[in-house]
Amino acid sequence: MLTTSDFKKGLVIQLDGAPCLILDVTVQSPSARGANTMVKTRYRNLLTAQVLDRTFRSGDKVDEADYERHKGQFLYADGDRGVFMDMENYEQFEMEEAAFSAISPYLLEGTEVTLGLFQGRMVMAEPPMVVELTVTETAPVIKNATATAETKDAILETGLKLKVPPYLENGVKIKVDTREGRFVSRA
């Protein structure tokens, strides 16, 4: 059993029979003496991908989820689903369309990911924080362009569309932040 004092970003708890990843924790104390302290959480239900808010009283107890993180690899896309492999035991898992569509723009075949397993079933795959992708389509290079606030549209090899600096051209490898979906630097 976990108490609200154990809550932190990235912890997986079990609420209503489902694994939930805590995204944010805020502690509010209505009085100066700390009586009736409330712990507000924002979490993602890993089975439904819903982001929800819930408030707990300080000291409330919740179950820790039967959740494990494993090193994995993205194998291939099978239609709208993704197929992943656990690198420890070579077991393969399929990810449903709803969850896969959110991370597929950051995945190339062979990309290493972190698999989230709940009771032996894959419920989440986290891509690395930064991935390297090749620019396939963008406007021509603007002469004398520098890394200013100006940007132009680009399409990457996975189909991801994002804003890049004006000095980039087709065929250049760039680094992309997978949490915010933004350009980081040249590779």
Which domains does the chain show, CATH number per domain?
A: 2-64 (2.30.30.30), 67-126 (2.40.50.140), 130-186 (2.40.50.140)
**Radius of gyration (Cα) for the chain, nearest Å?**
20
Backbone angles phi, psi at 13, to 5 degrees: -115, 170
Give pTM, 2 decimals.
0.78
> Tell me: the pLDDT tens digits for 37-76?
889 999 998 888 889 999 998 889 999 899 999 999 999 9
pLDDT in tens, 113-165: 999 999 888 988 999 999 999 999 998 876 665 555 688 899 999 999 999 88
Q: How far apart are CA 154 and CA 137, in angstroms?
A: 6
Q: Are 183 and 149 in contact (CB under 8 A)?
A: no
d(CA 150, CA 165): 6
